[in-house]
């Protein structure tokens, strides 16, 4: 049952002592590549990190040292227009990567690819965690892995044999996500208050890491200040000027 697998997803942040082989990683990447890609640009690259020192460094830079320590594999997922520039050169054509549109295309391409990879991994019993924290230090991380112009790190994924099993968190009610024919926010206040209660009940009763919290409070605290205001300048330094 595929839907059962998809609904069972929860982040795994601690792994048993098992290192994935090159064959396993290649198989996961090849499966992931079958995701759709905008105009078939296939604008993604994966850095598989096997050197202990680099793995440790990426763990520190992205604020998740422990996860990287026990992971059976650590992957850095990048949007990649450099390979497309090489394709252009083979055709004596200078391609234009320098638009906001290409940042969106690369980001969507990476994410569709990554979700396929994650589902393939979870179907084999592995656990995974996305790590957006690589965007805390994108310039330093780019240097660490020699990312050229046209390539930017979007997130990392750790994966491995789960040494913990987190519970599945309740999601927003479908009624707050799904609109028919027109965007309609007239029930948001009611739905979000109900969801706050659902999440509060979940947080106090779950097996581990119990706390007193609601979703709207978490979101308000998290988004009160601008998030990663360096990203525009960083993307510009990689050739994407967001014009």
The reply to whether 211 sits near a second copy by the rule CB under 8 A is no
Reduced to 3 states (helix: H, G, I; strand: E, B; else coil), residue 117 is helix
CA angle 130–134–136, rounded 5-degree value? 130
Task: State phi, psi for 155 to the nearest 5 degrees.
Answer: -160, 170
Q: Is 12 in the site for a second copy (CB under 8 A)?
A: no
CA quadruple 194, 198, 199, 205: dihedral positive or negative?
positive
Q: Does 180 bind a second copy (CB under 8 A)?
A: yes
Residue 208 near a second copy by CB under 8 A: no
CA distances (Å), 155 to each of 45, 111, 131, 242, in order? Answer: 12, 9, 5, 19
* Cβ at position 127, least distance to a second copy in Å: 12
Task: Pick out residues in 70-129 that bind a second copy (CB under 8 A).
Answer: 78, 82-84, 86-88, 90-91, 93-105, 107-108, 110-112, 114-116, 118-120, 123
**Residue 217 binding a second copy, by CB under 8 A:** yes
Residues 77 and 48: their CA atoms lie apart, in Å, by 9
Binding positions for a second copy, 136-155, rule CB under 8 A: 145-148, 151, 154-155
C-alpha to C-alpha distance for 80 and 140, rounded to whole angstroms: 17
Q: Is 177 in the site for a second copy (CB under 8 A)?
A: yes
Shortest gap between Cβ of 17 and a second copy (angstroms)? Answer: 21
Beta carbon of residue 126, minimum distance to a second copy (angstroms, whole number): 12
């Amino acid at each position: 049952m595929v839907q059962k697998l998809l609904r069972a997803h929860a982040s795994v942040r601690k792994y048993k002592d098992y290192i994935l082989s090159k064959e396993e990683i290649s198989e996961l990447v090849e499966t992931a590549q079958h995701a759709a890609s905008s105009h078939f640009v296939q604008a993604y690259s994966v850095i598989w990190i096997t050197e202990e020192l680099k793995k440790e460094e990426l763990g520190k830079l992205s604020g998740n040292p422990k996860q990287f320590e026990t992971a059976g594999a650590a992957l850095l997922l990048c949007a990649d227009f450099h390979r497309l520039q090489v394709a252009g050169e083979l055709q004596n054509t200078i391609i234009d990567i320098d638009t906001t549109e290409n940042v969106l295309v690369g980001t969507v391409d990476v994410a569709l690819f990554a979700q396929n990879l994650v589902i393939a991994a979870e179907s084999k019993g592995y656990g995974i965690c996305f790590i957006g924290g690589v965007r805390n230090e994108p310039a330093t991380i780019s240097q660490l892995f020699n990312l050229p112009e046209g390539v930017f790190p979007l997130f990392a994924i750790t994966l491995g044999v789960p040494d913990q099993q987190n519970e599945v968190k309740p999601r927003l009610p479908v009624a707050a996500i799904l609109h028919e024919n027109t965007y309609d926010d007239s029930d948001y206040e009611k739905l979000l208050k109900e969801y706050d209660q659902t999440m509060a009940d979940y947080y106090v009763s779950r097996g581990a890491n119990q706390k007193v919290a609601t979703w709207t409070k978490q979101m308000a605290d998290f988004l009160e200040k601008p998030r990663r205001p360096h990203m525009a300048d960083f993307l510009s330094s990689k050739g994407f000027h967001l014009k």
